[in-house]
Amino acid sequence: MGLRLKVYCCVAGCPGTYWLCQALVTLLSLCECFWAAPGPRGRPLDPRAEFDSIVNLARNLLSDTKSLFNHFKNRYPAEGEHKLETLPVLSMNAVELANIQVSGGLARLSSDLQCYQRHFEWLRKAAPLLRPMEHDLGTVHVRLERLLKRLEHLMAKLSLPRPNDPLPTLPAHGTHWSVVQAGHAIVHSFHLYLDWAARVLVLIRNKL
């Protein structure tokens, strides 16, 4: 508005330049509209890019867990198969895997990872009984938490509900041998699960 007043003052003093000043006023008006116009909106983030990041986290965690599993077997050799009823069960067949949906698949992953997080917390609390494995267990546990947070952040972006499945109640730490057996079961199960989870994440990403 101040610029317009100055132009009109010039017009009053120089009548011969009326049309030139009118053109200048029009040009200034257009400039003001241009300056007031909002800038271009940023493009929305592609959830597939975030999926790629989560897949990489899962694969890196799989590598760390494989290393932990091998170290655990070498440090605490134990024959036979060790199981815990509180661990997630991989019961999805090939047809179910191919037909997995975004909402249900991510909810399943989130719920299972929370369950594994609880088991690794339990193992880390048994550190005095598994002191040689304390560092490796801590590394896997921290990266598991990071993967879970990224997954939950993605679910929030996609407006998907978070699962409210109850977490398992684990027993008090018993003897050294009972903790070793539980450790074998947890680490081996998590190793197999992450291999499955990485493939599931890729399938879900391709459905977006």
- Spell out the domain ranges in the chain: 2-36, 47-205
Nearest CA-CA partner of 18 in 28, 27, 8: 8
Q: Report the CATH fold assignment for 47-205.
A: Growth Hormone; Chain: A; (1.20.1250)
Helix, strand, or coil (residue 25)? helix
Task: Examine the pLDDT at 110 and tell me if it is beyond 70.
Answer: yes
Task: Examine the pLDDT at 202 and tell me if it is beyond 60.
Answer: yes
Cβ atoms of residues 160 and 106 within 8 Å: yes
Helix, strand, or coil (residue 188)? helix
Task: Examine the pLDDT at 40 and tell me if it is beyond 60.
Answer: no
* pLDDT, the chain, mean: 81
% pLDDT > 90, the chain: 46
CA distances from 188 to 17, 145, 157, 191 (A): 88, 18, 32, 5
Which pLDDT value is given to residue 149?
95
% pLDDT > 70, the chain: 78
Report the Cα 51 to chain-centroid distance in Å. 8
Task: Examine the pLDDT at 131 and tell me if it is beyond 90.
Answer: no
Residue 114: how many CB atoms within 10 A of its CB? Answer: 19
Report the Cα 2 to chain-centroid distance in Å. 52
Q: Which two tokens stand for residue 102?
A: 């975004």
